[in-house]
Amino acid sequence: MERVEQNRHRALANFSSFSRAVYSEIEEVGWEHLVRLSEDLKFLSFRVLDKKKRVHYIEIQLDKSYPKSPPSISVDVPCIFRLKWSRDSRLKDLLQQFQEHLEKLQEIWTILDEIDKSLWVVDLNRLSCANICRQINLGNDCFIMLCIHANDPKSLPECRFMGSGPTLNSLRKTWQRNSKRWNKDKPFLENVANLLDAELPRPPDYQNSDQQVECGICYAQFLPVDDELGAKSGCGTDYTCDNTSCSRAFHSVCLADWLCSITTTRQSFDVLFGNCPYCSEPVAVKINNTKS
Ligand SMILES: [Zn+2]
Ligand SMILES: [Zn+2]
């Protein structure tokens, strides 16, 4: 019986030293970057912004023997992210390495952004950050699939023609004939147009011009004028979902209220961590301090 007690005490002591360690490592990274933290503290997810303010998430699974054994990580990026881990490594080192990895990918995303903004990309909203291929609608049921090279994004991309349009074959031949014209010093889109010998169609304008500024929870644009709301009284929406295919606007007050009513919401200090009511992507919002 005594042994059982001892084991229990040891397990508790270990757990609390583990939890102390995890908390202090989160502290070093900054709680504002934490998106999710499981009850046993073994699963964490952080939000990381790259230099161009693109939002990325890193999911981290800690092992029993952490930090002796490296955490397992899951990220949505092209090119494998290889973590260098030593016994003294901490979560902040992991985040630092991830940030460095993101910076190496900037050239890839700059080209993809260029494509996404100017060309008629199929299923644009469903593409993940890791996807370096784009299916582009050339009109008349002709499509070209371009896959850029992760190691050399400005070089001639892999390409495949698809569709049943009557001009498909001639487009393919033109591309092959012109492929020597690819010039890495020229903008990517100019190269694509050069090889196809054609102007590429712009994406049809799906976006409606009047922006959604009403809150996704209370459906009003402005909060009521109310002393209890303090500085937020009468204010417009001040929080937008980071998921670009959602981008729903909220009053942070409404979002915090809503998160408080959800049982899976976690709280660390004055920040609530939960999921967007529209797209379920992680959201983090500060609890409104009405006196501020
Ligand atoms: Zn609202
Ligand atoms: Zn959302």
Taking the centre of ligand 1 as the mean of its atom positions, its distance from the CA of residue 221, in whole angstroms, is 7
Distances (CA, A) of 155 to 117, 136, 138, 149, 268: 20, 18, 21, 7, 46
Give yes or no: residues 79 and 111 share one domain. Answer: no
Task: Split the chain (292 residues) into runs of 10 and give each run's mean pLDDT.
Answer: 69 75 93 89 92 89 89 91 92 96 94 91 84 92 94 95 91 95 94 91 60 80 84 86 88 92 88 91 80 42
Out of 138, 165, 196, a domain closes at: 196
Give yes or no: residues 192 and 227 share one domain. Answer: no
Q: Is residue 137 part of a domain?
A: yes
Cα angle at 98 between 88 and 111, to 5 degrees?
165
Q: Which ligand is nearest to the CA of 253?
A: 1
Kindly report the CATH number assigned to the domain that includes residue 161: 3.10.110.20
Taking the centre of ligand 2 as the mean of its atom positions, its distance from the CA of residue 254, in whole angstroms, is 14
Give yes or no: residues 53 and 140 share one domain. Answer: no
Give yes or no: residues 136 and 175 share one domain. Answer: yes
What's the domain count of the chain? Answer: 3
Measured CA to CA, the distance from residue 14 to residue 146 in angstroms comes to 52
Q: Which ligand is nearest to the CA of 55?
A: 2
Taking the centre of ligand 2 as the mean of its atom positions, its distance from the CA of residue 217, in whole angstroms, is 12
Taking the centre of ligand 1 as the mean of its atom positions, its distance from the CA of residue 269, in whole angstroms, is 23
Q: Is residue 202 part of a domain?
A: no
Domain with 288, as residue range(s), is 207-292
Taking the centre of ligand 2 as the mean of its atom positions, its distance from the CA of residue 239, in whole angstroms, is 11
Tokens 């929870």 — which residue? 217
Q: Is residue 201 part of a domain?
A: no
Taking the centre of ligand 2 as the mean of its atom positions, its distance from the CA of residue 241, in whole angstroms, is 5
Taking the centre of ligand 2 as the mean of its atom positions, its distance from the CA of residue 281, in whole angstroms, is 6
Structure tokens at 207: 């976006």
Give yes or no: residues 141 and 88 share one domain. Answer: no
The protein residues having their C-beta less than 5 angstroms from ligand 2 (an ion) are 241, 243, 246, 248, 276, 278-279
Give yes or no: residues 92 and 150 share one domain. Answer: no
Kindly report the CATH number assigned to the domain that includes residue 263: 3.30.40.10
pLDDT confidence of residue 292: 39
- The gap between the terminal CA atoms of the chain, to the nearest Å, is 54
